[in-house]
Amino acid sequence: MNRIAFFGGTFDPVHNGHLKIARTLVEFFRLDRFYFLPAFHAPHKSERKPTSAYRRFAMLSIATRNDSNIFVSTHELDQGEPRYTADTISELQGIFPRSKLFFVMGADSWMDIRTWRRWEDLLLMTDHIVVARPGFEIGVSHITDDARRRIQDIRGRDKSVVPENDRDRHAIYITDAVHFETSSSALREDLSDGELDRDSDIPIEVANYIEKYELYR
């Protein structure tokens, strides 16, 4: 059974923290494939219009071009409209019926999960990986009892002890295997001011693409 992870988000822009998550989780969870799943526009985030889907897909493709098992999915972008994650996961399960699917989310998304449409169903319909962030508290009191019983807190544990849980009883893994503090929103502010540490924040090829097309000016 293939093990495939999907990491949803706007990735506006993709940064080295995103790439570190992908590369670390591929090893930690013994994934066959890892997909970045850029949203056309997250329905629960209406505060700003994201950079065009075309530009965000291009940046992700540039950033992952040398990673043989990391891909960019256009599943949500192809719809041309905001999508709900629960619907997307259901569709992906139909596309990959013989695979074990994981949905990856950051700590901030986990704490805001109750704002997502059909969030109770989403937490029970597939395996999840919640990536903890330094200084960001991970709570569990905001979710249902059924979802809480499925939590496997593997923070501080070696990848060799990640359990192979039953396919029909999906788990919610909380891991601190990845450490990063970069955020896309902070990067957008830096880019608009012309300040950017290319070596540590964004892959140089992506930074050059952003500069060439003046994406965040």
In a domain, 88, yes or no: yes
Is residue 129 a contact partner of residue 105, using CB atoms and an 8 Å limit? yes
In a domain, 211, yes or no: no
Q: d(Cα 91, Cα 174) in Å, to the nearest integer?
A: 25
Q: What is the pLDDT along the chain (217 residues), one digit of tens a residue?
A: 899 999 999 999 999 999 999 999 999 999 999 999 999 875 545 556 789 999 999 999 999 999 999 999 999 999 888 899 999 999 999 999 999 999 999 999 999 999 999 999 999 999 999 999 877 889 999 999 999 999 999 998 876 666 665 556 799 999 999 887 778 888 888 787 766 666 678 999 999 999 899 998 8
Q: 133 is in which domain, residue-wise? A: 3-181
In a domain, 141, yes or no: yes
Domains: count for the chain: 1
CA-based nearest residue to 12, from 144, 208, 205, 202: 202
Is residue 192 a contact partner of residue 215, using CB atoms and an 8 Å limit? no
CATH number of the structural domain spanning residue 164: 3.40.50.620
In a domain, 51, yes or no: yes
pLDDT given at position 168: 60
Is residue 9 a contact partner of residue 45, using CB atoms and an 8 Å limit? no
Joined tokens for residue 172: 């919610």
In a domain, 44, yes or no: yes
In a domain, 35, yes or no: yes
Q: Rounded to the nearest 5°, which phi and psi values hold at 183?
A: -135, 145
For every residue of 152-203, DSSP letters joined together read EE-TT--GGG-----TTS--EEEE-S------HHHHHHHHHTT---HHHHS-
In a domain, 217, yes or no: no
In one-letter notation, the amino acid at residue 139 is G
